[in-house]
């Protein structure tokens, strides 16, 4: 009786090992998520905008590297209702696993910023006042507050959403100013400075950066 029992045990162990190898192969075959960075200065710039003393939306340089801009540049002057920063991104397949992070900061270049409330040197953007849309669908992200705003401030990462759907082919991601609350000076709306957008997904993403946007 010992030999048949031993044989059965060996067969069972063999089956366990086979299933383990199959499971490992399936895990190895599953696509891995990759992270992509899309610089705001290479996106489609707004056709409207405003600054603190005139001007409009433009690409600004992080000259002394104190703002921690990822590529040394950022987009400023979104202070007008309707100002829209547009990213056109191609995906090789449809997914619903995209995580979107945006790098924002705020500024007070003239020292006259007044965000209202108890702390005039702070302000908040919300899903309603600064809309972030993916293929026309607004993302319900959590409020983002900028505190103790100085002349220049470091950019920070803010999670906009997870499990976002992207379609195969062209995807349009927009950052849209949808308010008319001035922060002071000649600004016509409340908006952040935009450094870049990061997307993590199992899809392969690509785009055509508009490098001609950079100042000469």
pLDDT per residue over 139-179, tens digit each?
A: 999 999 999 999 999 999 999 999 999 999 999 999 999 99
By CB atoms closer than 10 A (0-12, 13-18, 19+), residue 128 is exposed
- Secondary structure of residue 106 in the 3-state scheme: coil
Q: In this model, does residue 216 exceed pLDDT 90?
A: no
Q: Cα(41)–Cα(44) distance, rounded to whole angstroms?
A: 8
- Residue 182 tokens read as 């001035």
Name the one residue in this structure whose structure tokens are 């400075």: 193
Confidence of residue 93 (pLDDT cuts 50, 70, 90): very high
* Those residues with Cβ within 8 angstroms of residue 36's Cβ, 6 or more apart along the chain or in another chain: 198, 199, 200, 201, 205
Return the pLDDT at 16. 39
The number of beta carbons lying within 10 Å of the beta carbon of residue 11 is: 10
User: Dihedral sign, CA of 81, 83, 84, 85?
Assistant: negative
pLDDT tens digit sequence for 46-90? 999 999 987 888 999 998 899 999 999 999 999 999 999 999 999
Average pLDDT, the chain: 88
Distances (CA, A) of 77 to 3, 4, 81, 94, 150: 82, 81, 11, 34, 16
In the 8-state DSSP scheme, what is residue 126? -
């Amino acid at each position: 009786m010992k030999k048949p029992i031993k044989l059965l045990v060996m067969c069972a162990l063999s089956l366990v090992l086979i299933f383990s190898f199959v499971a490992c192969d399936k895990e190895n075959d599953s696509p891995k998520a990759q992270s992509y960075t899309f610089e705001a200065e290479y996106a489609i710039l707004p056709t409207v905008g405003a600054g603190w003393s005139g001007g409009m939306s433009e690409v600004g340089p992080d000259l002394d590297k104190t703002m921690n801009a990822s590529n040394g540049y950022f987009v400023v002057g979104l202070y007008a209702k309707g100002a829209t920063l547009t990213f056109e991104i191609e995906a090789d397949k449809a997914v619903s696993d995209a995580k979107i992070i945006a790098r924002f900061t705020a500024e007070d270049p003239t020292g006259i910023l007044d965000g209202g409330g108890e702390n005039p040197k702070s302000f908040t953007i919300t899903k309603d006042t600064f809309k972030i849309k993916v293929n026309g669908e607004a993302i319900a992200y959590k409020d983002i507050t900028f505190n103790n705003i100085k002349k220049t401030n470091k950019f920070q990462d803010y999670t906009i959403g997870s499990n976002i759907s992207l379609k195969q082919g062209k995807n349009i991601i927009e950052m849209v100013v949808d308010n008319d609350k001035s922060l002071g000076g000649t600004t016509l709306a409340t908006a952040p400075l935009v450094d870049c957008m990061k997307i993590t997904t199992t899809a392969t993403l690509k785009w055509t950066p508009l490098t001609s946007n950079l100042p000469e």
